[in-house]
Structure 1
Amino acid sequence: MKPTSEETHETQVRSRKPLIIAALVIVVAIVAAASLAYGEWANRPDVWTNDAKFDADYTVISPRVSGDLVGVHIEDHDRVERGDPLLDIDPRDYQVAVDNAEGLVAAAKANLAEIEAKLAQQPAQIRNAEATVRQDAANADYARADAARYSRLRHNGNVSEQNAQQANANARALDAQRQADQATLDSVRQQTAVLKAQRQSAEAALIQAQTQLRQARLELSYTQIKAPIDGVVAEQSARVGAWTDAGSAQLAIVPVHAIYVTAYYREVDITHVKPGQPVSLSVDAYPDLDLRGHVKSLAPATGTTFSPVSSNDVSGNFTKIVQRLPVRITIDPDQPGLDRLKVGLSVETTIHTEA
């Protein structure tokens, strides 16, 4: 029996029902996700603080040697480049130390050369001593044979007792000479080992003298103090003729080209702060100057963490204080007015966390 039109329509509705339900589920999921995203975005407002200032990693210049200042080539607020001369310390004492060290090196080299020459002569001296011992052995053997012959002739009455005794004494003398020359040979051979030990000692002495020379030259170079970085001179206290001790601060160089901002945000304001987020900067000293930057990093601890005095209250009376966390902000380059910035100036910062 052929189905009616009403039955056909009802069948089509039932077949479409799962599709409609699935579409509704997808729409609800999209709406929920959009609501959550909007809520998250809406709960991430800009965070602002006026507890911020310009900072720079400035370098304090201190001499590495002591002496009288004989030259001061800079003044406060001068711009310097890396390698520019800053201060000169009297180099005469250090030049004397270099000259003395050079003399020690020359003496050590001469001593080593003398020992090397003696070592070079050792083979010839050993050969000469060996030849002498061989000659002594031959002479002693001949003398002993001659003494034995004279002894036989004496028994036969052909030579006198005196001649026999003289031949015997000569044999003993030549044998003693052989033993003496053998001792000399042994001594010459042992002298080689002695000279080798002396050579090692001389080489060590030369290395020590060369080290002293390098140290003396290094200290001499320290009498000329040069700028280690580019920047602007500040806190210059050096004066010509004044005595300066090694390690005493004479001036500072501030790299004004590398100024950044340190902002101290309350802990409740950093919930959504992350590196890379854009920052608006307003400088108190220049109300007309608005700058841009971005979050470089967040400190690993609050400022009070490194305080020498502990903040723990052992009395039992606790007052909760909102902590502040240092946030480093890098200033974007190529903005007008960057040359007007000074380290230590106050600045207001607004981090756009929605970005």
Structure 2
Amino acid sequence: MTSKNKQHAKTDRLITIITGWIAGIIMVVLAIWGLLTLRTLYIYEETNDAQVEEYINPVTTRVTGYITKISYEENQDVKKGDTLLVIDNNEFKLQQQEAGAALSNAEAQVPVLESNVNTVSKSAEALQAQIASSKARLWKQEQEYARYQKLFDVESATQQQLENVKTALDVAKADYQSAIDNYAAAISRIQDIKAQKAVALTEIQRRQAMLGRNNLDVTYTVIIAPYNGKMGRRTIQEGQVVQAGQTLAFIVNQSAGKWVTANFKETQVSKMHIGQKAEIETDAFPGKIFTGSVESFSPATGSRFSLLPPDNASGNFVKIVQRIPVRIKLAGPVAETVLLRAGMNATVSIKK
């Protein structure tokens, strides 16, 4: 064998040894990976169909008007009660003043009606006294008529005298009846004024409600943060006209905490229970483990809450493994969980 052939044989043996070692290392690595994977599958239930969640609520306006001031920027942290934006309130203040004036006018009617009641009551007392006077005159005329009737019967009085006395008696009767009617009318007038007072009091209540509504409209022109949170994307500008009920911005409620919604297969949740510990790893922070605990299970599969739930009774049936949303409450220091954002993808592992 030539030296050249010997050199080739030596090189082949070296390549074979190196290849063998590499293959052996690969096999060992694969074996270790396989054992770790089997261990994980045996000990943990895991899913990568999970997302970080937070309450994201719209900020809406209750009144229509022009935006005069915007006091926040995109992605700004805000505290509960901070002013977010101001809507022009000149028109609402005018309505407020008008409602206040109408309320004052309605309230001013009550003393006038009470004064009328007192005046008519005094008149009724005078009319009541007039009734007594008329009754006394009537009694006197009745006695006078009876006396002249007796005199006429014995021909001691003339027909004319009797007729004059009869006329005076009729006048007295008419005066007495007139006094009674006037007194009844005064009493009726008092009742009418009292009824008007009740209407005026009801009108005052209505005006108070209208003023309260106008006061609310004025306060609605200043939109404040309902809780501690972080503002989302800003899509409005000063001078823009907004309508009542229009969404102006979105705010992330940081005071309500964060959680993870993990969609486990229905075959994975049989041994899970509330309070069970969970480990969360997000795609944004690989290698960093966040802790949490199972807070609740969805009452139905995710597909049942979709816009068009599947109906297995129609058409051909294909069995598909369903997923159960599991709510996992994040634990640990706030400084760690503050790194997480709503919508981040996560991988959740729960011990069996």
TM-score (norm 2): 0.80
Provide the residue aligned with 1:340 in structure 2: 339
Instruction: Show CA shifts across 1:263-321 (max 9, x none).
Output: 11111111211111111111211225321111111111111002222312455421111
- Distance in 2 between residues matched to 1:221 and 1:157, nearest whole Å: 95
Provide the residue aligned with 1:188 in structure 2: 186
Instruction: Show CA shifts across 1:51-99 (max 9, x none).
Output: 1111101221100111111121111101111111112111122112222
2:141/2:165 contact within 8 Å kept = yes
**1:190 alignment partner, SS class:** helix
Displacement of 1:338 in angstroms is 2.3
Matches of residues 79-158 of structure 1 in structure 2 within 5 Å? 79-146=77-144
What amino acid maps onto 1:180 in structure 2? S
Displacement of 1:175 in angstroms is 2.4
Matches of residues 49-88 of structure 1 in structure 2 within 5 Å? 49-88=47-86
- Distance in 1 between residues matched to 2:175 and 2:340, nearest whole Å: 97
- Distance in 2 between residues matched to 1:322 and 1:108, nearest whole Å: 70
1:136/1:177 contact within 8 Å kept = yes
Task: Confirm whether residue 170 of structure 1 aligns to residue 172 of structure 2.
Answer: no
**2:311 alignment partner, SS class:** coil
User: CA 1:268/1:193 → structure 2, altered by over 3 Å: closer, same or farther?
Assistant: same
Q: Unmatched 5+ residue regions in structure 1?
A: 1-41
User: CA 1:206/1:336 → structure 2, altered by over 3 Å: closer, same or farther?
Assistant: closer
- Distance in 2 between residues matched to 1:333 and 1:193, nearest whole Å: 74
Instruction: Show CA shifts across 1:322-345 (max 9, x none).
Output: 111111111113164322211111
What amino acid maps onto 1:282 in structure 2? E
- Fraction of identical pairs, as percent: 26
Provide the residue aligned with 1:219 in structure 2: 217
2:121/2:186 contact within 8 Å kept = no
- Distance in 1 between residues matched to 2:335 and 2:55, nearest whole Å: 22
1:233/1:253 contact within 8 Å kept = yes
User: CA 1:82/1:170 → structure 2, altered by over 3 Å: closer, same or farther?
Assistant: same
1:256/1:343 contact within 8 Å kept = no
- Distance in 2 between residues matched to 1:325 and 1:268, nearest whole Å: 9
- Distance in 2 between residues matched to 1:269 and 1:113, nearest whole Å: 78
**2:275 alignment partner, SS class:** coil
Displacement of 1:174 in angstroms is 2.9
**1:71 alignment partner, SS class:** strand
Provide the residue aligned with 2:304 in structure 1: 305
**1:169 alignment partner, SS class:** helix
Displacement of 1:242 in angstroms is 0.7
Provide the residue aligned with 1:271 in structure 2: 270
**1:264 alignment partner, SS class:** strand
Provide the residue aligned with 1:10 in structure 2: none
Displacement of 1:165 in angstroms is 4.8
1:119/1:192 contact within 8 Å kept = yes
Provide the residue aligned with 1:284 in structure 2: 283
Q: How many residues align?
A: 312
User: CA 1:62/1:336 → structure 2, altered by over 3 Å: closer, same or farther?
Assistant: closer
Displacement of 1:256 in angstroms is 3.5
TM-score (norm 1): 0.79
What amino acid maps onto 1:338 in structure 2? T
Matches of residues 185-264 of structure 1 in structure 2 within 5 Å? 185-256=183-254, 258-264=257-263
Answer with 89-98 or 151-160: which moved more: 151-160
- Distance in 2 between residues matched to 1:92 and 1:156, nearest whole Å: 95
**2:43 alignment partner, SS class:** coil
**2:267 alignment partner, SS class:** helix
2:264/2:325 contact within 8 Å kept = yes
**1:51 alignment partner, SS class:** strand
- Distance in 1 between residues matched to 2:262 and 2:153, nearest whole Å: 124
Q: Unmatched 5+ residue regions in structure 2?
A: 1-39
Displacement of 1:259 in angstroms is 1.7
**2:262 alignment partner, SS class:** strand
2:290/2:332 contact within 8 Å kept = no
1:235/1:250 contact within 8 Å kept = no
1:59/1:254 contact within 8 Å kept = yes
